[in-house]
Amino acid sequence: MLHNFGSINLDHIYRVPHLVRPGETLASHDYRVGLGGKGANQSLAMARAGGRVCHWGRLGRQDAWARDTLARAGVDVSRVNLVDEPSGHAIIQVDDRAENAIILFSGANHGFRRTDLNALVASTRPGDWLLTQNECLGLAELIPLADDHGLKIAFNPAPMAEEVLGLPLSRCRLLFVNHSEAAGLTGLALGAGAEALLDALAAQLPAAEVVLTLGSNGAWYQHGAQRRHQPALPVEAVDTTGAGDTFIGYLMAARQAGLGIEACLARATAAAALAVQRPGAAESIPDAEEVDRLLTDPAASPAP
Ligand code: ATP
C-alpha cells in the first residue's frame, strides 16, 4: 500500500468578460467546480493506473462529494476526514482572453495536528511507501516520524518554498522535482541545465533516487552512479496542468507492480503524454487501458 499525505482542493472556476476590478460586481457567465490539489491528483493518477493508494487528507464536511469521487476511482478514502472547516479551495476567474486571476485558500489542508500525524503513521506497516507534496502543513514532523516507523518516503516539493530547504530531506528515498523545484532545492539558477541540477542533487542527497521532469524535454532518473534520460512523447499539448501529478501517480503504481525503472518511466511518460492532450487536471488523467494501448501501439494514440 502507498499512503499519500496530500492536499484536496476544490477549484471554483468562473468565466467572466474581464477580471473583476476593485469595487466592481461582475456577473459570471459560466461556473464549474472541479476536484484538484496535487495530493488528490496524484492519488487519482495512482488509482487509475491500478495502484493501491490510501489518501490521507482533510476536507470540509459540505464537500463530501470530492471524497466520493476519489473513492469511485479506487482510492482508499478511509483516512480522508470530513471536518467543520472550509475545504482547501481556489477561486479562479478566467476571462475571455484566457487570462486568469486566482485566490487560493489552504483551509482544511493546513489543519493536521501532531496527534493526527501520529495516528496516521501508526496505521501503516513498515516498508510501505509514503508519498507527499508541499501543500499540507506538518512535513517537518511527519518526515522523521514516518522514517522512524520504517516507511519509505517519496517527496514532491511542490509548490517549492523556502521552508522546504529546512526539511530533513536526507530521510526521503525518492524525490520528484521539476526544473524550478530542482533549482530551488540546489540554489542553482533557473537557467541551469539538467546535468548540472542532477550533479548538485547527487551531491546534496547522495542516497536518494531523483526523478527530474522537464516538460516536453522528458525526464531524468538518477540513483548513485546510474543516470538515464526518458524522452517525452512528441504530442500536441493543449493543457499541461496536472502532467507532473499524472507522471508521479503512474510511476509509483508501476513501481508498486514491481516493474523496473525503465518500464516505470515509460508508463509515466505515456500517461503524462495522454494527460497533456486534454484540458483540465484531474479529469485529464488517463486510465490504465489507454496507457497500455499507447505503449503497445503508439501510432494509434488517440486524443479524445
Ligand atoms: P505540472 O506542475 O503542470 O503538473 P510539472 O512541472 O510538475 O507539471 P512537467 O515536467 O511539466 O511536470 O511534466 C511532467 C512530465 O509530463 C514530463 O516529464 C513529460 O513526460 C510529460 N509532459 C509534460 N509536458 C509535455 C508535453 N508538452 N509533451 C509531452 N509530454 C509532456
Task: Walk me through the domains of the chain, giving residue ranges and CATH numbers.
Answer: 2-8+37-86+109-296 (3.40.1190.20)
Residues with CB under 6 A from ligand 1: 178, 213-216, 218-219, 232-233, 235, 237, 240-245, 247, 269, 272-273, 276
Buried b (16+ CB within 10 A) or exposed e, 61-86: eebeebbebbeebbbbbebbbbeeee
**Nearest-angstrom CA–CA distance, 15 and 93:** 6
Does the pTM exceed 0.85? yes
Which three cell numbers mark 188?
542553482
Nearest to 19 by CA among 82, 119, 122, 103: 103
| Cβ atoms 149, 126 nearer than 8 A | yes
pLDDT in tens, the chain (304 residues): 999 999 999 999 999 999 999 999 999 999 999 999 999 999 999 999 999 999 999 999 999 999 999 999 999 999 999 999 999 999 999 998 888 899 999 999 999 999 999 999 999 999 999 999 999 999 999 999 999 999 999 999 999 999 999 999 999 999 999 999 999 999 999 999 999 999 999 999 999 999 999 999 999 999 999 999 999 999 999 999 899 999 999 999 999 999 999 999 999 999 999 999 998 889 999 999 999 999 998 776 555 5
What atom in ligand 1 is closest to the CA of residue 180?
6
**Nearest-angstrom CA–CA distance, 228 and 208:** 15
